[in-house]
Amino acid sequence: MEPTPSRVPMVRRFSVPGGRDGRRMLVVAVIDKVGTGLWSGASTLYFLYVTHLSVSQIGLLMGLSGVLGIAGPPLAGRLADRFPVTRILVVAQLARGAALLALLTTDDFVLLVLFSALGALPDRASSVLTKLFAARVAGPQRIRYQAIQRTAVNIGWAVGAAGAGAALTVGTTAAYQALLLANVASYLVIGVLTLRCAEPPAPSRVVAGSGVPATPARTATPWRDRRYLSFTATEVWLFLDDSILQVGFPLWIVHATEAPVGLAPLVLVLNSVLVIALQVPLSRFGENRAAARRLLLPIGAAFLTGGVALAASATGGPWFATTAVLVAAAAFSLAEILHALASWELSVALAPGESQGAYLGVHGLAQSAQRSLGPVVVGVAVSTGALAWPVLGATLVVACLVQRRLVRPRVPSVRTEATAASST
């Protein structure tokens, strides 16, 4: 029986796993998100006002670039099993900067689509490579490291978004170009910092909480591992919180409730505040595979609570609607925080060490697929009406239950036990 989570000692609470390289990669993640926050808030307006694309062209550009980006995670994972992860990460960071810088050279729609797509590929790859580096450098403390990293990058994103907001008040072409160049500069800085990180050892496999290499799995490729593929498929649905918070809430507030329109950006502020406040303290509840599996039940409950509250927000006046929306936002944010812990631990724990990169690359497809599927699902829910939200919440509960069954420990067969006994 595994011990229940206990209080985190004060010294450990403020320490970063992974030593110097773990701290350095944490700085890399923060700088990356500051730069991304600067550009993401201005990218749509840049294409609209600087390159003079139409709204439909902008939507097509983002959609096509996203399709190519889906190939980034599995490609990066496969390469990381063969070459040093830090060197591949540097290449991806520089490629992101080069593709972004190329946007300044043209107003042609086809070339803008090409450069955006070429940037999406290393962008999605970088997230998997960063996750793989963290899993290797932090070892058994990878869940705590991921929690600290998510907290830090949310702060970095907020700083970048605030900087973008200040620059956009100017509204000139030079201001948009300055934000783009600032993001390019951030890629150069994190490339240099990543080069200074030592290559972490690629474990045969490290089980969280034990530090002992485990027996390699029989299946060396995730594409033949039906359990891992099924786990990744359920992850696509559980990552819907991203689209619900960023797309669903603004549309629902405007079209279906009497809550003030200004509440929409406050939902994202509340989300960031909760992640910053709770991600690290709650990380102790997902520090091993069994604990991560137990989290799936409260994750489902939080999703269902959010769906019911969002539906209720359409039934009352401004004050009631505002309260219900905030309750829903808090519930979906809690689901996001807990799912980040469970997803991180299970995706690594289910992967054999010798193919860890390939497995995490396949798992990265879940977020990529959600970015394409999520807005469509959320759009249908908004247009369907209030009943769609608790129904969607119920499907998320089902996904949690299915995943909980998928990741349960495998019981050795009678034949396996007999074989083991006869060999002793």
Distance CA(19)–CA(23), nearest Å, equals 6
- The token pair at 315 is 């039934």
Distance CA(347)–CA(231), nearest Å, equals 8
CB 65 within 8 A of CB 113: yes
CA 269-31-263 angle, to 5 degrees, is 10
Distance CA(331)–CA(335), nearest Å, equals 6
Residues 18-24: contacts with CB under 8 Å, at least 24 apart: 18/134, 18/137, 18/138, 18/139, 18/141, 18/145, 18/200, 19/137, 21/137, 21/197, 21/198, 21/200, 22/134, 22/137, 22/138, 22/145, 24/193, 24/196, 24/197
pLDDT number for residue 12: 47
| Mean pLDDT over the full length of the chain | 83
**Measured CA distances, 38 to 156, 185, 354 (Å):** 10, 11, 38
Q: What is the pLDDT of residues 387-418, one digit of tens each?
A: 999 999 999 999 999 999 999 886 554 444 44
Specify the pTM. Answer: 0.75
CB 58 within 8 A of CB 48: yes
Query: What mean pLDDT is predicted for residues 297-310?
Result: 97
pLDDT number for residue 207: 42
pLDDT number for residue 239: 93
Distance CA(267)–CA(159), nearest Å, equals 17
Question: Above 90 in pLDDT, residue 342?
Answer: yes
Distance CA(96)–CA(36), nearest Å, equals 11
- The token pair at 360 is 């995490």
Query: What mean pLDDT is predicted for residues 291-319?
Result: 95
Q: What is the pLDDT of residues 168-197, one digit of tens each?
A: 777 788 988 999 999 999 999 999 999 998
Q: Which of 98-102, 198-202, 216-220, 353-357 has the lowest mean pLDDT?
A: 216-220
End-to-end alpha carbon distance in the chain:
26
- The token pair at 70 is 């889906």
Distance CA(64)–CA(114), nearest Å, equals 9
pLDDT number for residue 403: 96
- The token pair at 122 is 């290393």
Q: What is the pLDDT of residues 84-117, one digit of tens each?
A: 889 999 999 999 999 999 999 999 999 999 999 8
Helices 263-282 and 142-168, interaxial angle, to 10°?
A: 160
Q: Of residues 50 and 7, which shows the higher confidence score?
A: 50
Query: What mean pLDDT is predicted for residues 288-305?
Result: 94
pLDDT number for residue 220: 58
